[in-house]
Amino acid sequence: MNLRELQENRRRLEYKIFQQRLDMAVAVRDWHEATAPIDNGWAVLMRYKKPIMLVASTVLVGGVRRPKRSFKLLRRGVLAFTVGNRIRKLLHKV
């Protein structure tokens, strides 16, 4: 190979590397867009980590002391959550 062929080969390889970098940048951007809701949810969870742990431990202690009452509260909580979600979905449709 002479010098001209080597330069041409190098130019093609550099162009190929450049294209691969562009493809990677697009893929990373798409990945960040796709996982943004998960990342945001995780950030919110970490922001309220201590209060969640405090409430969970309080509920756990109460559940050990009075199991029947805990199941009543759990059913009411699930019911309130379900009703709240249905109302929210209904309001978004309007």
Supply 88's token pair: 């929210």
Looking at residue 48, what DSSP letter applies? T
Give the number of other CB atoms < 10 A from CB of residue 51: 9
The pLDDT assigned to 68 comes to 87
Per-residue confidence (pLDDT) for residue 1, from 0 to 100: 74
> How does pLDDT run across 21-63, given as a tens digit for each residue?
999 999 999 999 999 999 999 999 899 999 989 988 988 888 8
Q: How many other CB atoms sit within 10 Å of the CB of residue 70?
A: 15
Task: Give the chain's count of helices (H) and strands (E).
Answer: 3, 0
Please report, for the chain, the start and end positions of each structural domain, with discontinuous segments joined by +: 1-47, 50-94
- Give the pTM: 0.49
pLDDT, residue 46, reads 92
Q: What is the pLDDT of residue 15?
A: 97
Q: Is the pLDDT of residue 80 over 80?
A: yes
Q: Which residues contact 1 (CB under 8 A, 6 or more apart)?
A: 9
Cα distances (Å, whole numbers) of residue 53 to 47, 64, 74, 91: 12, 16, 17, 32
Confidence class for position 71, pLDDT limits 50, 70, 90: confident
Per-residue pLDDT, 13: 97
SS3 42: helix
Q: Is the pLDDT of residue 94 over 80?
A: no
